[in-house]
Amino acid sequence: MLTTREQVLAHLHELGIEQRTVLHPAVFTVEQAQEHTRHLDGGHCKNLFLKDNKDRLWLVTCLDEQQVDLNRLAKLLGAGRLSFARGELLAEVLGVAPGSVTPLAIVNDTGSRVAAVLDTKLLAHEKINCHPLENDATTTLAAIDLLRFIRETGHEPVLLDLDRTLDRLPPA
């Protein structure tokens, strides 16, 4: 399991994925992250580690300012009722602590327990900014390389436009 910034950055290097990482104070909210990373070009990630009432796990990655309605998202995904997964499960499956959730943590889901969900509005950005397994740094990489990274882990990402698709659902 990769658990440190250095390990995941070395793995990106092994895959030939270019990245740039900047250090900053530890951040635990989108607002705190924006204070230190808003100057970085590209889309900035918000990540939700979710569990449904059928014990399926979801890692949803979207733009940091995206509003996510869990009830409607569950309908869209064909999931049971969604809730935030416990920190212990996050550490067990993705190897990160709360506040450090990142799409790069999917590398630690060797049992393929987690479905990686990416909002297409995030992927519309040429560059994407996310934590490198630790919340005291931000890594910038190409959107296409993030998709390749996820696929290299054996996961096929679910690509959704959360706004457009959710708007087409019947009212909750």
Q: For the chain, what is the mean pLDDT?
A: 94
- Count of beta carbons in the 10 Å neighbourhood of residue 46: 21
Q: Is the pLDDT of residue 168 over 60?
A: no
Q: What is the pLDDT of residues 58-94, one digit of tens each?
A: 999 999 999 999 998 998 898 999 999 999 999 999 9
The contacts of residue 39 (CB under 8 Å, 6+ apart) are none
Residue 170, pLDDT score: 45
Quote the CA–CA distance of 155 and 137 in Å, as a whole number: 25
Query: What are 61's strand-pairing partners?
Result: 47, 118
The radius of gyration computed from the CA coordinates of the chain, to the nearest angstrom, equals 15
Q: Please tell me the pTM assigned to this model.
A: 0.93
Residue 172, pLDDT score: 45
